Amino acid sequence: MRRDVFQAIADPTRREIIGMLAQQSLNLNNVADQFAISRPAISKHIKILTECGLVTITQQGRERYCHADFGKLKQVADWTARYQKFWTEKLDALGAFLDKEQQTKKK
Amino acid sequence: MNTEPIVIERTYNVPADKVWQALTDINKINQWFFQLEDFKPEVGFAFSFSGNDNGTRVVHESVIKEVIPGKKLAYSMIYKDYPQESLVTFELFDEGDKTRLVLTHSQLAEIAKGSPMYAREKFLGGWTYLAGKLDDFLNK
């Protein structure tokens, strides 16, 4: 199943997790302790966040630490700018092609 | 941070069927868009193309979602290394010997499928929240 950042942030629990990790990296138990829902449920949310690329997990001794990855978020922020440019160029190219085609036909 | 779809409008000095052919005929697509191996304006037809992003080759994968001959073509687009599905829609408006083309590129493909308002609000709420967090983080 494909995962993306938008799926990651669609769920309120996951948003809260990201919010917490934005302040500081936490181990899985610390994260789970902040919520009333079960630990397996939290683990599942974290798994989705890692699959979406928003959270990375590192093993430190016996603890697994979760970190927020803001690079991924920034990438999304750049999305609009990148495709705006892409389509502007492509639609210009389409216009040039249509003009050329029209002129060739007239000749 | 902007979650609005990209909308670009152009008017071309040719009839709509010419623009439609340029969008759907493989021999014409290859002259302005990308070199595709094949293209069929049919719902479910899949194709891929390589774009260039600051010198990096990026592969986009697409599946056609909607076809109204001469009027509308929509396909999903996924950039392989960055699996965020988006939806590209070309709409043609016949203006006699001219054609107005409206291109819409939206990231909200998933949301458009489901219960739109709810999902969109949920999504935007999430986005606004995270954008704030990101700003906080970057300004630390």
Can you list the domains of chain B with their CATH numbers? Answer: 6-107 (3.30.530.20), 110-140 (no CATH)
The ipTM (two decimal places) reads 0.71
* Residues lower than pLDDT 50 in chain A: none
Record: contact A90-B32, CB cut-off 8 A: yes
The CA distance from B3 to B129, in Å, is: 13
Question: What phi and psi values does residue A38 have, to the nearest 5 degrees?
Answer: -65, 155
Residues of chain B in contact with residue A105, where contact means CB-CB under 8 angstroms, are: none
Q: For residue A84, what is the nearest residue in chain B, using CA coordinates?
A: B6
Give which of A8, A17, A91, A51 is closest to B122, Cα–Cα: A8
Sign, CA dihedral A57-A60-A61-A62, equals negative
Q: Within an 8 Å CB–CB cutoff, is residue A37 touching chain B? A: no
Q: What is the pLDDT of residue B93?
A: 96
Q: Within an 8 Å CB–CB cutoff, is residue B14 touching chain A? A: yes
pLDDT band for position B83 (50/70/90)?
A: low
B84-101 per-position pLDDT tens digit:
678 899 999 999 899 999
Closest-CA distance of chain B to residue A48, Å: 14
Q: What is the DSSP letter of B35?
A: -
Q: What is the pLDDT of residue A105?
A: 73
Residues of chain A in contact with residue B111, where contact means CB-CB under 8 angstroms, are: 6
B8-27 per-position pLDDT tens digit:
899 999 999 999 999 999 99
Whole-structure pTM value: 0.58
Q: What is the pLDDT of residue A46?
A: 94
Can you name the residues that pair with A64 across neighbouring β-strands? A59
A61-91 per-position pLDDT tens digit:
888 899 988 777 666 556 666 778 888 999 9
Residue with tokens 């623009």: B19
Sign, CA dihedral B8-B14-B20-B23, equals negative
